[in-house]
Amino acid sequence: MAKVGIIGAMEEEVSILIEKMESSGNVKKICAGELVFYAGTINNTEVVVVKSGIGKVNAALCAQRLILQFDVTHIINTGIAGALGGNLKIFDMVASTDAVYHDMDAVLFGYKPTQIPGMKISEFKADENLIKKAELAFEKTNSVDGRKILAGRIATGDQFIADKEKKEYIKKICSPLCVEMEGAAIAHACFLNKVPYLILRCISDMADESVEATYSFNESVAAQESAKVVIEMLENFMGGIMEHTEGHYKVDSFNLDHTKVTAPFVRLASKKVGQKGDVVTKFDIRFTQPNKEFMTTGAIHTLEHLVAEYIRDEIDGVIDFSPMGCRTGFYFTVFGDVDEEFIAKHLLNVLKKVAVWNKVVPAATEKECGNYRDHDLEGAKKYALAWVNGIESKGWNCYK
């Protein structure tokens, strides 16, 4: 089942959505820090609506909260923007194909404008299915001849663009259709968390010196037009998604493209935040290449016993180390907001010991184990050594 997080920076951008939820009598108001979330349904789709506040940091924090605390499956950012390309006019609309930071500038160190140092990707691609749903929803809701919706790049920065010279500079470095102040930060958070997203913008101004005369007049109308398209998108939401794709599943590994990864690796699978703020983090610890090589059940069983016992000497807050049904790796779950590098470092310490283990396997008796006869220490040592050599030679990233 889908749960859609909807973010607007300003009250005008979310009010119509909240009113729609309240009219059905099915809305719950949840305060988290300085944010107020409205959980309920719109057009029979489960949604969580929130006003993030203006700017990149506000937007990114809000998106992360939606993902971790509310477990949303998709995020839509609704709102207004200034036109930069595509012959856009006031009240035309843009559905993002990708999003970039126009104010990311590390040119002095050899990077291109908009390029984020240390990241392989600086253009965060939107979900194609959501783009199609937005285009269809616009056609259904638009009642004004001459209005259009275009799919294209959106540029984000912590600046309100009202200057022709600045406008031309942004067009030169990244060729966006429009410019605003939150979208790429939300896209960035969604990219890192593997959550499909869309930025939807209605044009309120031309991002030049005419802003002062037009923005305040157009702001409310543009915000409402964007929200109307979002409401229409939520009609039969997953039905429309499934027409174009195999779907986004509730199980993380089902959404992983197993043809694109290279074992061994450590991959963040999910993070969950409890009602009292406790964080539980789950990792995909892959030993063998998916659909190419499979560990024997005895070797998996022995690895589970050895790692589950001795990883607790390395890391506090271990919850579980459990084998995957596909026999290519394990899921490792811990308390705390920790990253892949941390997990890889401590697993290396344990698996180096396993690779040369010459003692009895812990808890491998009939009294202690539910299948004590099915153990393979030599197989476990072989897979442990291969994992250690692979991680030390190529690193822990799944896409190397």
Positions marked active-site = 13, 205
**What are the structure tokens assigned to 153, written together?**
């790049």
The per-residue b/e assignment along 185-197, b for 16 or more CB within 10 angstroms, e otherwise, is bbbbbbbbbebbb
- Helix, strand, coil shares, percent, the chain, to 5: 40, 25, 40
Distance CA 136, CA 112 (A): 36
Rg (CA), the chain: 25
Distance CA 302, CA 355 (A): 12
CB 37 within 8 A of CB 30: yes
**What are the structure tokens assigned to 93, written together?**
């609309």
The per-residue b/e assignment along 77-96, b for 16 or more CB within 10 angstroms, e otherwise, is bbbbbbbbbbebebbbbbbb
Q: Which is nearest to 126 in space by CA: 77, 172, 166?
A: 77
DSSP H helical ranges for the chain: 11-23, 56-69, 128-141, 164-174, 183-193, 211-233, 237-242, 297-310, 340-355, 377-394
**What are the structure tokens assigned to 49, written together?**
């609506």
Residue 274: phi and psi, rounded to 5, are: -80, 175
Could you tell me which residues come within 8 angstroms of residue 2 by beta carbon, excluding any fewer than 6 positions away?
Answer: 45, 46, 73, 74, 237, 238, 241, 248
Could you tell me which residues come within 8 angstroms of residue 210 by beta carbon, excluding any fewer than 6 positions away?
Answer: none
Q: Which is nearest to 37 in space by CA: 68, 1, 79?
A: 68
Distance CA 353, CA 301 (A): 16
Other Cβ atoms closer than 10 A to 200 = 29
